[in-house]
């Protein structure tokens, strides 16, 4: 099995009001005043007058911009977990972030862009149908959410 993979996904603005706000576009970075975010496929850095600000460079396995589809994220990060699970390994995919940052959309998706959960369920049952003739498998699923919970509450 592979190591833990950490990815960041920037959600698109929810409306034209958000798009006009005083914040950079995250498709490659952007500037606000003397500050600039430099973003590439594997990292995010804050610069002040083109000089990196100490302690503000972060490296990830993947950085996804606003235009990436859930299917692309699934293919890069989750599909191998499903294949491993069918072979008897444990795997976990979870979304973490602040309120309204796009976790539910990434995990559940929409009709036009199915999320991680529906894509995984489809692959699980497609793969299970292939192996059912020669083995027995059990499938379990857990979904936890802490909406509107006090900050000290742990799911």
Helix axes 116-131 and 79-86, enclosed angle (nearest 10): 30
Contact predicate 48/34, CB 8 Å = yes
> What is the H or E stretch that residue 53 is in?
strand 51-59
pLDDT of residue 27: 47
69 among the known binding-site residues?
no
Q: Comparing 29-33, 81-85, 86-90, 140-144, which segment has the lowest mean pLDDT?
A: 29-33
97 among the known binding-site residues?
yes
3 among the known binding-site residues?
no
Spatial separation of the C-alpha atoms in residues 31 and 75, rounded to whole Å: 31
The predicted-structure confidence for 55-64, as pLDDT tens digits, reads as follows: 999 999 999 9
101 among the known binding-site residues?
yes
Contact predicate 6/60, CB 8 Å = yes
| Residue 118: other Cβ atoms inside 10 A | 14
């Amino acid at each position: 099995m592979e190591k833990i993979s950490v990815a960041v996904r920037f959600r698109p603005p929810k409306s034209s009001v958000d798009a006009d706000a005083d914040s950079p576009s995250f498709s490659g970075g952007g500037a606000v005043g003397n500050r600039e975010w430099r973003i590439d496929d594997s990292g995010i850095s804050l610069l002040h007058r083109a000089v990196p600000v100490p302690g503000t460079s972060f490296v990830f396995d993947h950085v996804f911009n606003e235009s990436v589809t859930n299917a692309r994220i699934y293919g890069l990060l989750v599909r191998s977990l499903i294949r491993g699970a069918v072979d008897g390994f444990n795997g976990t995919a979870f979304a973490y972030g602040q309120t309204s940052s796009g976790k539910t959309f990434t995990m559940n998706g929409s009709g036009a862009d199915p999320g991680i959960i529906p894509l995984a369920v489809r692959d699980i049952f497609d793969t299970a149908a292939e192996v059912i003739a020669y083995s027995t498998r059990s499938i379990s699923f857990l979904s936890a959410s802490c909406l509107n919970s006090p900050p000290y509450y742990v799911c």
